[in-house]
Amino acid sequence: MENPIIKISGQVIHISPLEVMSEKFKKREFVIQTEGKYPQEIQIQVTQDKCDLLNNLKQGDIIDASVNIRGRSWTSKEGIKKWFNSIEAWSISFGNPNGKSFEQKTFQQLDQKSFEDQSQGKKSLNDFIEDSSNN
Mean pLDDT of the chain: 78
pLDDT at 43 over 60: yes
Structure-model confidence comparison of residues 70 and 105, the more confident one: 70
% residues pLDDT > 70 (the chain) = 68
| 30 C-beta neighbours (distance < 10 Å), count | 23
- Delineate the domains of the chain, giving CATH numbers in brackets: 6-102 (2.40.50.140)
pLDDT digits (tens, 9 = 90+) for 46-88: 999 999 889 989 999 999 999 999 999 999 999 999 999 999 9
| Rounded-to-10 torsion of CA 10, 131, 105, 121 | -100
Taking residues 20-27, report their average pLDDT: 92
Closest CA to 44 of 10, 1, 74, 83: 10
Q: Whole-prediction pTM value?
A: 0.65
Taking residues 29-37, report their average pLDDT: 94
Residues whose CB falls within 8 Å of the CB of residue 102, separated by 6 or more in sequence, listed in order: 96, 129, 130, 133, 134
Which residues partner with 9 through β-bridges? 64
